[in-house]
Amino acid sequence: MYHEHIVPYFHTKQVGEFSEGFDFSHEGVRFSVIGVLPEKSYGVVGRETEIFYEGPAVERKVLERLQLLPFEDGLPEKYRPSKLMLDGDALLRDYVRPHFEQRSAPLAPGDVVPIQGVRFKVVACRPSEGGGVGRDTELVCQGVALREAFGPSTGAARPARPKAAAAKAAIAKAAAARGAPAAPPAPPPESDGAGQGGGGCTVS
């Protein structure tokens, strides 16, 4: 096991740093990293790294079938021959199968899986409670690309709610009953200059 799978993987396929929980496989045999030192740290396997592999096999529930669909956002157009069709074979070849060859973590309906910049959603699996992907799991990617949300509204005005309309009518009626506020008194007419001074006179 050690020389047939673990050593060849880290010599030929190791990519980037990893930590506890990392999954990988070699020639169909799957492994999971259950601990690292220093704890919770990230790193790579080097010449001085000690690898412990003794112990019971990790038990997990393996899926019989897994169906995923990609979201439209980020999906290259070449994988959508039409708006109502996906190129499922190409998606399996370029995204899904390469990803799950090195992933064993359990999945369940509703989970979103990012793969090379494209997000896939688990829409169904068997058994329905979920499980991990194995060498015999049937992978399916057939259907229509998913949308994150519905498009914006058309902007048409919504009809007023009954309670809101009644409240507005009551306010308008009360304002009419009170009447409009009295207008301020008009200012006195300006003088034309006659009679200014100490006294006035009348010319007949």
What pLDDT score was predicted for residue 166? 57
Segment 75-103 mean pLDDT: 94
User: Could you tell me the CATH number of the domain that includes residue 117?
Assistant: 3.10.330.10
Tokens of residue 71, six digits: 């979201």
Residue positions counted in the chain: 204
Domain membership of residue 161 (yes or no) is no
Say if residue 195's pLDDT is above 70.
no
* Predicted local distance difference test score (pLDDT) of residue 203: 42
Same domain, 110 and 77: yes
Which band of pLDDT confidence, cut at 50, 70 and 90, is reported for residue 157? very low
pTM for the model:
0.61
Q: Is the pLDDT of residue 184 over 80?
A: no
Domain assignment present for 115: yes
Residues 100 and 135 in one domain: yes
Q: What is the CA radius of gyration of the chain?
A: 38
Range of the domain at 13: 1-44
H-state helical runs in 5-59: 7-12
Give domain status of residue 156, yes or no.
Answer: no
pLDDT at 200: 43
Is residue 188 scored above 90 in pLDDT? no
The pLDDT of residue 159 is above 90 = no
> Phi/psi of residue 50, each to 5°?
-90, 130
Q: How far apart (Å, rounded) are the C-alpha atoms in residues 28 and 63?
A: 15
Single-letter code of the amino acid located at 113: V
Q: How many domains does the chain have?
A: 2
Return the closest-CA partner of residue 2 out of 53, 56, 57, 61: 53
Report if residue 89 sits inside a domain.
Answer: yes
Phi, psi of 67 (to 5 degrees): -115, 125
Positions of E strands within 50-92? 65-70
User: Above 70 in pLDDT, residue 99?
Assistant: yes
